[in-house]
């Protein structure tokens, strides 16, 4: 199995959208400021998308935890 880089990009965007929403909610609860929550969410959105993309690409290059399927022989 080989994943194309664009698959990693789409997964990165969808995961970060969810993660950023979570960060903004937590930031708002902690700070009580929607402006501060948006600022924190915006910063982490960019940095974590970049980090996740490279993390995902690194994992796609390793076979750790992947088994090759055995061909089925019919009798």
* Residue 65 located in a structural domain: no
- 73 falls within a domain: no
- In this predicted structure, what is the pLDDT of residue 42? 92
If one counts the domains in the chain, the total is 1
Mean pLDDT across 37-64? 89
In a domain, 14, yes or no: yes
Residue 24 forms part of a structural domain: yes
As a dihedral over the C-alpha atoms of residue 4, residue 6, residue 9, residue 10, rounded to 10 degrees, the angle is -110
> Domain for residue 74, yes or no?
no
Domain assignment present for residue 32? The answer is yes
Question: 12-50 pLDDT, tens per residue?
Answer: 788 888 999 999 999 999 999 999 999 999 999 889 888
Would 50 be classed as within a structural domain? yes
Query: Does a structural domain hold residue 67?
Result: no
With 0-12 / 13-18 / 19 or more C-beta atoms within 10 angstroms meaning exposed / middle / buried, residue 66 is: exposed
Range(s) of the domain holding residue 18: 5-59
Supply the pLDDT for residue 56: 83
In angstroms, the CA 39 to CA 53 distance is 22
């Amino acid at each position: 199995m080989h994943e194309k880089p664009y698959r990693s990009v789409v997964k990165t965007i969808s995961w970060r959208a969810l993660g950023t929403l979570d960060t903004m909610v937590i930031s708002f609860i902690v700070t009580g400021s929607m402006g501060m929550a948006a600022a924190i969410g915006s910063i982490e959105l960019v940095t974590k998308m970049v980090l996740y993309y490279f993390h995902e690409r690194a994992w796609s290059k390793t076979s750790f935890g992947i088994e090759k399927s055995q061909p089925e022989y019919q009798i």
